[in-house]
Amino acid sequence: MSQSFKENQAPDYSFSNEKRQGVYEAIALRRDIRSFLPNPIPDEKLGRILEAANMAPSVGFMQPWDFIIVKDFDTRNKLHAHVDSERRHAADGFEGKRKESYSSLKLEGILDAPVNILVTCDPSRFGPSVIGRNTIRETDVFSAVCAVQNLWLAARAEGIGVGWVSILKNEFLRHIFHIPAHIIPVAYLCVGYTEDFDDTPLLQKIGWLPKRELDETIHSEEWGKKPAAG
């Protein structure tokens, strides 16, 4: 190997094969879990999961996230009632078999999971002059969602299931958790052990929507232009 090639060769910071495989398995086997076991999550394990969430990347290092840990049953019961009402309202948006299919789905585990976590976003953190915030305001929420993804993947690596509850209103969350007006609720998550992680995502398995293949998602240089074969 020539000296010039060594100088131009990129440094190898890749993980070992075993560690690399673990990362890809966590990504591939992550699922949106709806059914949970009542077993409590050990504090040290929950701490590792939250630490992973807190290490998420953020635009301008703004770190806009906060985490509200919810275990109180009365609080969760109020949330469950709200979600149930929103679920019945959402069902009216579908017709026929589609409506029947939607109504048969279990869409949350608020009362089943031993822990619920609300991830929020503070768009004012560190003041108005944060790199990237002035140009694209939504980078606040984008960054908070990175924390959600970190939490989700860390939980899967720990054998813990996570389910994102989306059929609720932010105004209700602000009221029940006394959240200041400028704070944005981003994700309400159910977290706990589960009996099974399905091989295939549920909504794909039941045919609710098809899985897009990678080649459908890639454009070359501009929108709609596909890369050359191979």
Q: Which amino acid is at 173?
A: L
Model confidence at 93: pLDDT above 70: yes
Q: What is the mean pLDDT of the chain?
A: 93
The token pair at 60 is 């301008």
126-180: pLDDT as tens digits: 988 888 888 888 999 999 999 999 999 999 999 999 999 999 999 999 999 999 9
Q: pLDDT tens digits for 193-205?
A: 999 999 998 889 8
Q: What percent of the chain has pLDDT over 70?
A: 97
Residue 230 has a pLDDT of 64
Q: Are 179 and 173 in contact (CB under 8 A)?
A: yes
How far is it, in rounded angstroms, from Cα 33 to Cα 191?
A: 8
Bridge partners (DSSP) listed for residue 65: 121
Q: Which domains does the chain have, with CATH numbers?
A: 31-197 (3.40.109.10)
Q: Would the CA dihedral through 83, 174, 120, 69 be positive or negative?
A: negative
- Residue 155 to residues 29, 33, 121, Cα–Cα distance (Å): 11, 11, 21
Query: Rounded CA gap, 135 and 208, in Å?
Result: 37
pLDDT tens string 43-63 = 999 999 999 999 999 999 999
User: Looking at the predicted structure, is the pLDDT value of residue 2 above 60?
Assistant: no
Query: What pLDDT was estimated at residue 215?
Result: 92
Q: In what order do the strands lie in the sheet with 65-70?
A: 65-70, 115-121, 184-192, 161-165
Q: Report whether pLDDT(4) > 70.
A: no
For residue 3, pLDDT beyond 80: no
pTM: 0.91
